[in-house]
Amino acid sequence: MIKTRMQLDKNVAERAGAAEVRRQYRNSYDCVRQILREEGVRGMYKGMSASYLGVAESTLQWVLYEQFKAYLARREERIERSGRGKTTWDRSVEWTGNFGAAGVAKFVAAVLAYPHEVARTRLRQAPVANGELKYTGLVQCFKLVWKEEGLMGLYGGLTPHLLRTVPSAAIMFAMYEGILRLCNAPA
């Protein structure tokens, strides 16, 4: 298996015009060992400060979802109080409302909090050729990305991130609501 993987790496490298590609780590144990040897214990925790900012994204997502859900519940109450029959649109909103609310909540939260993903990724980068770190801390990382790349640097990769996370969040919240209904738990 290892020989095959190395051969594939070599073949990909040859097609890309590189002479030889060597993997930085042989496996997870080797990765931990090299990081501890070269960067110390602190190296194992690079990028954690940016990861903690991810909590803000999740919190915002849940708050927005609950607000959208409350709006949909008020909408249903208004329709029932009015005594009018439900239109096709009303039935569509009833079935897809929470799914859409979850998707929109994730979209808004992700767009607002996305720069933390960029910082987290950058802080985890390996040292440059001379062994120095380009990004040394969260604030320094944000400042340097802003200075070198501007606002677009803080949002690089947002589109694929949204294409992955928004549908995932919508499905997760739909499952959450479905399980609550199955268990007759209050929403």
Output the DSSP codes for 131-158.
S--S--SHHHHHHHHHHHHHHHHHTTTH
pLDDT by residue for the chain (187 residues), tens only, comes to 444 444 444 555 555 555 555 678 899 999 999 989 988 998 888 767 777 888 999 999 999 999 999 999 899 899 889 888 888 898 888 878 888 999 999 999 999 999 989 988 888 886 677 778 888 888 999 999 999 999 999 999 999 999 999 999 999 998 888 898 899 887 6
Q: How far apart (Å, rounded) are the C-alpha atoms in residues 15 and 87? A: 59
Say how many domains are in the chain: 1
- Strand ranges inside 17-68, DSSP E: none
What is the domain range of residue 23?
1-46
Report if residue 21 sits inside a domain. Answer: yes
Output the six-digit token pair for 65: 């979802």
Report if residue 42 sits inside a domain. Answer: yes
Report if residue 23 sits inside a domain. Answer: yes
Report if residue 11 sits inside a domain. Answer: yes
Q: With a threshold of 0.85, does the pTM exceed it?
A: no
Q: How far apart (Å, rounded) are the C-alpha atoms in residues 155 and 151? A: 7
Are the CB atoms for 65 and 102 separated by under 8 Å? yes
Output the six-digit token pair for 9: 């790496």
